[in-house]
């Protein structure tokens, strides 16, 4: 697991270096923010349209081989792009085509690497492994954006692409040496239909590999997902939170520079507080043992109420005191939701479930920012935060009320679980958020009051689904 975490960190740094360089490169070639956004959308499009097919491929193919090959292909694309830049042969059309190919490979790479990371630890440690992945992703994002600024200013965008290509190839080299933890990859007995070979034995004329590939159709994954109340509820909670609650780079930017009369330095301090809160939340989430959809809903509702309070903040200091627990709660909710998503389905279905999730989350990730922008135009930054928070808490509360009306006898086993209630976990996360708030705010409030020259901020898309991920990024677990 240590080698995988190291590879994950190196790769995430490289990914964010390339994303930053890509946005700057499109701006340099075209001078158009619209075309820059188009490059992001083109890279996201395969996830929206082919995410389910990519998940089905992960279920059908050997996981380590699939992850290694996809990482190597992404590395080759990055290196080819760097060579084209060095030779002066890269134009906007070629760059857009390479973005599409990158997004296409990522539909297989993302679920393969996510599930491969879970295979390296015992099942009881999966929540901790996912929390470590979230922490690594956050550090990689900050480090990658900073490193891109240095590389691009010294050697140009090609250097960032070359570095990312090497990071992909490093991961592809590490993967063959990874060994699954004992019991991490259970083999499910499958009841044999009439006339077929019994479970555990290959049918006559069929190899064991062919037997493993039976029932890996994309349609089966789609049907499974939408017949699983727990996964549907998780999707609804996450969609509401992503659309109305987690585009803080947009809502807080307008709030700080508008009603709170701040500037670049103040918004930089707010962004720092958000980042620190996310890291603290990832550390706290590592203590979860059996996260549930109810815990995800509780954290989302608490985050919604904190968002309402943030929208009504009378000053920057009050806002920073509130966004620390907001970021912590969001990080805990994300980690709990990702754990449920990756462990609730049976092992043979997990790739397709992640594929369905990639498609639907890309959809709401693309719809969310424009919808939130319209809401802000109508109600302002304060109104958007308050209305969004009320909607999130209201939907979670309504879902809990509807679920509570169902009798235990009628409740689906997928929803009614003895571990469904986690008040201790929820209370610990909220209490920890309150304790950390004062320390973080005191460390950043002074920086916010000091005048500072506005720094050049690379154009980057906001996270699209709250899982510390952007659809434009071929991410790892």
pLDDT digits (tens, 9 = 90+) for 282-306: 888 878 777 899 999 999 999 999 9
Q: What is the pLDDT of residues 329-382, one digit of tens each?
A: 988 898 889 889 988 898 888 899 999 998 898 888 888 878 888 888 899 889
**426-455 per-residue burial string, b: 16 or more CB within 10 A, e: under 16:** beebbebbeebbeebbeebeeebeeeeeee
Lowest mean pLDDT among 228-242, 264-278, 441-455: 441-455
Helix axes 423-449, 316-343, angle to 10 degrees: 140
Count of alpha carbons within 13 angstroms of residue 320, beta-carbon side: 27
For the chain, what percent of residues have pLDDT higher than 90? 27
Distance (Å, rounded) from C-alpha 354 to C-alpha 167?
24
- Do 134 and 333 meet the contact criterion of CB atoms below 8 Å apart? no
More confident residue, 309 or 43: 309
How many DSSP H helices and E strands does the chain contain?
Answer: 15, 0
For the chain, give the longest Cα–Cα distance.
Answer: 78
Distance (Å, rounded) from C-alpha 388 to C-alpha 304?
7
Q: What is the mean pLDDT of the chain?
A: 77
Number of C-beta neighbours around residue 32 at 10 A? 12
Query: Tokens representing 217?
Result: 């159709």
pTM of the entire predicted model: 0.71
Query: Is residue 200's pLDDT more than 80?
Result: no
Grade residue 134 by pLDDT with cuts at 50, 70 and 90. confident
Which are the contacts of 378, defined by CB distance < 8 A and separation ≥ 6?
none
- Do 312 and 386 meet the contact criterion of CB atoms below 8 Å apart? yes
């Amino acid at each position: 697991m240590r080698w995988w975490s190291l590879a994950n960190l190196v790769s995430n740094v490289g990914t964010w270096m390339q994303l930053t360089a890509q946005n700057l490169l499109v701006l340099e070639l075209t001078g158009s923010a619209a075309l820059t956004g188009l490059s992001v959308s083109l890279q996201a499009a395969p996830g929206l349209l082919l995410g389910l097919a990519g998940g089905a491929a992960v279920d059908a193919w050997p996981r380590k081989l699939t992850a290694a090959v996809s990482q190597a292909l992404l590395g080759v694309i990055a290196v080819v792009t760097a060579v084209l830049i060095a030779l002066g042969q890269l134009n906007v059309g070629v760059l857009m085509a390479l973005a599409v190919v990158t997004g296409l490979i990522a539909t297989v790479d993302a679920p393969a690497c996510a599930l491969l990371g879970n295979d390296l630890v015992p099942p009881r440690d999966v929540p901790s492994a996912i929390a470590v992945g979230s922490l690594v992703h956050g550090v990689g994002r900050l480090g990658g954006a900073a490193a891109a600024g240095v590389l691009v200013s010294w050697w140009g965008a090609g250097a960032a692409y070359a570095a990312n290509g090497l990071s992909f190839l490093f991961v592809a080299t590490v993967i063959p040496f990874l060994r699954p933890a004992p019991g991490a990859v259970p083999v499910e007995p499958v009841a044999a239909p009439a006339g077929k070979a019994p479970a555990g034995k290959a049918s006559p004329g069929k190899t064991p590999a062919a037997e493993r590939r039976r029932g890996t159709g994309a349609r089966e994954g789609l049907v499974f997902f939408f017949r699983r109340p727990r996964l549907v509820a998780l999707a609804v909670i996450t969609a509401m939170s992503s659309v109305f609650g987690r585009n803080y780079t947009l809502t807080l930017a307008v709030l700080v520079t508008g009603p709170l009369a701040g500037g670049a330095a103040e918004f930089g301090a707010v962004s720092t507080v958000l980042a620190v809160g996310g890291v603290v939340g990832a550390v706290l989430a590592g203590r979860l043992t059996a996260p549930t959809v109810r815990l995800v809903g509780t954290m989302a509702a608490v985050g919604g109420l904190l968002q309402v309070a943030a929208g009504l903040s009378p000053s920057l200091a009050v806002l920073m005191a509130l966004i620390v627990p907001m970021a912590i709660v969001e990080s805990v909710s994300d980690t709990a939701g990702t754990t449920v998503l990756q462990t609730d389905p049976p092992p043979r279905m997990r790739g397709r479930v992640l594929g369905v999730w990639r498609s639907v989350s890309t959809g709401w990730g693309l719809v969310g920012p424009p919808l939130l922008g319209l809401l802000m135009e109508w109600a302002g930054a304060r109104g958007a935060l308050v209305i969004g928070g009320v909607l999130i808490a209201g939907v979670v509360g309504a879902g809990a009320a509807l679920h509570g009306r169902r009798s235990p006898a009628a409740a689906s086993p997928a929803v009614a679980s003895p571990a469904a209630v986690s008040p201790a976990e929820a209370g610990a996360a909220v209490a920890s958020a309150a304790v950390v708030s004062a320390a973080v705010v005191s460390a950043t409030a002074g920086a916010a009051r000091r005048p500072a020259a506005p720094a050049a901020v690379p154009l980057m898309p906001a996270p699209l689904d709250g899982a510390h991920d952007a659809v434009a990024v071929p991410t790892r677990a």
